[in-house]
Amino acid sequence: MYPVSPGPLTRQSAEDFYIKDIGTLPAGTRIAVDMYNLHYNPDLWGPVDPHVFYPERFSTKRHPLAWISFGAGPRHCIGMRFAFLEMKMMLIYLLKTYSITECGGESRKWFEQLTEPFVITPARAIFRLHRRDITINRTLLD
């Protein structure tokens, strides 16, 4: 659930607006959304700890802005659809060609050590790829 960027998503308000429990923000106010803490907020991503890999959490209907890895609205990332397409193609190829296994107990803690040069990534993740034996039956292709 790492956000694409470790930094905040910033915008400038075009007009005055009111936020409950905060008050009125005047036009021209710079607003920042801390994407990292938004994506790890247990109130949004519970009941399972947000730091635990649990893909089923995305099957629950949530607010559309609870997950904004590519931003939102008319200024969202222009490359978002292309990035999703590339990720799907890479994942299909990887899972079709290899089986993936962990290498020892140390690799289980890969999510605790992150680097943040521009995109948040695990500092060290050790996995073993085993090439699958793929044989094609020619009679099915003819």
Q: What is the pLDDT of residue 24?
A: 94
Which residues contact residue 31 at a Cβ distance below 8 angstroms, ignoring those fewer than 6 apart?
Answer: 10, 11, 12, 13, 25
**pTM (predicted TM-score):** 0.56
Torsion-angle region of residue 71: left (phi > 0), alpha (psi -120 to 50) or beta?
left
CB burial string 44-57: b at 16+ within 10 A, e below:
ebeeeeeeeeeeeb
Q: In this structure, are strands 114-115 and 121-122 parallel, antiparallel, or unpaired? A: antiparallel
Q: What is the pLDDT of residue 141?
A: 55
Q: What is the pLDDT of residue 118?
A: 61
Spell out the per-residue pLDDT of the chain, length 142, in tens: 566 666 677 888 899 989 899 899 999 999 888 888 888 888 888 888 887 878 888 888 888 888 887 878 888 888 989 999 999 999 999 999 999 887 766 555 655 666 665 666 666 667 788 998 876 665 655 5
* Structural domain boundaries in the chain: 1-77, 80-142
Tokens 């020619």 locate to 138
Q: Measured between alpha carbons, how far is 15 from 20 in angstroms, rounded to an integer?
A: 16
| Residue 31, amino acid | I
